[in-house]
Amino acid sequence: MRILIALGRSALVRRGEPMTMAHQMANIRRAALQIARLADGNELVVTHGNGPQVGLLALQATAATGVAGAAPLDVLGAESEGMIGYLLEQEPANALPAQRQAATLLTRVEVDPQDPAFRHPAKPIGPVYTEAEAERLTSRTDWIFARDGNEFRRVVASPKPQRIMALQSIEWLLERNVVVIAAGGGGIPVSAAHDRQTRSGVEAVIDKDLCSALLATDMGADLLLIATDVDAVYADWHTPYERILSQVSAAGLRSMPFPAHSMGPKVQAACDFVTRTGKRAVIGSIDHIEAMAAGTTGTQITL
């Protein structure tokens, strides 16, 4: 079976944890053991988020140079994709059979430069700030902040992914039984010139879940598995009517409201994949990846 495993931010930083390397390594080991258990008899592509890391890199670059935008988001995205890819490659490789290799592929993803998202930045990246901290950064930079609960986070443009530029390379690696780590953080956003031959980087961060759904569709995946820090999708979350959704249709799931910056993109990505391909998607805990693939836990989504 060909499986795309999309690891959420909990693969690296769990809610409330400091973003230290020790915490990131411990969390990655949890995911790596689960991924290794799926390796036998399956072709695997692993994607991951990078929102906290790319935001922190932007903050570090600004602090080091005193210049906002010293490094554009596409470059920072590539930097974080390489860093996280290395960590993900190292740990599953340690758990895989000796003859099974893992490889990280920096992945450019084409976006439309006219996407409305460039006029309405809304994707949170980086750490959370108090209102005073956000105001202080706004006075020094051109960053835009939005409320995240009682705190604030920087928000940036998040255009929809149009095309995975590295699809042929991913196919080549899968044919050679390599576990591929690709499209990290939604990939590196690029746009094409009018001649369709020249491409340049774009100041944006692509949603990892939507990019994962596109990649899973284009590579002919049999299963899109979205691993996060909750055991399943819940209807009426945090209300007296809260209930787990174990088996649900894509149409039924689309009819329900979900938060825009947490479960919403995951639900949209899973439903998009199921609708386009007729194949299965599942959303659940990073600690239960093997059982999710087997269909025994998580929210199983079908037509």
pLDDT at 100: 85
Strands (E), the chain: 2-7, 43-48, 102-105, 108-111, 123-129, 144-148, 151-156, 161-164, 179-182, 188-192, 199-201, 223-228, 233-235, 243-245, 247-249, 280-285, 299-302
pLDDT band at 62 (very low <50, low <70, confident <90, very high): low
2-110+160-302: which CATH number, 3.30.450.40, 3.100.10.20, 3.30.360.10, 3.40.1160.10?
3.40.1160.10
Characterize 41-59 residue by residue with b for buried, 16 or more Cβ atoms within 10 angstroms of its Cβ, and e for exposed: ebbbbbbbbbbbbbbbbbb
pLDDT above 80 for 298: yes
Average pLDDT over residues 216-242: 94
Q: State pTM to two decimals.
A: 0.90
Question: CA nearest 302: which of 272, 280, 277?
Answer: 280
Structural contact between residues 265 and 210, judged by C-beta atoms closer than 8 angstroms: yes
pLDDT band at 160 (very low <50, low <70, confident <90, very high): very high
pLDDT above 90 for 80: no
Q: Rounded to the nearest 10 degrees, how much is the dihedral formed by the CA atoms of 199, 221, 78, 286? A: 160
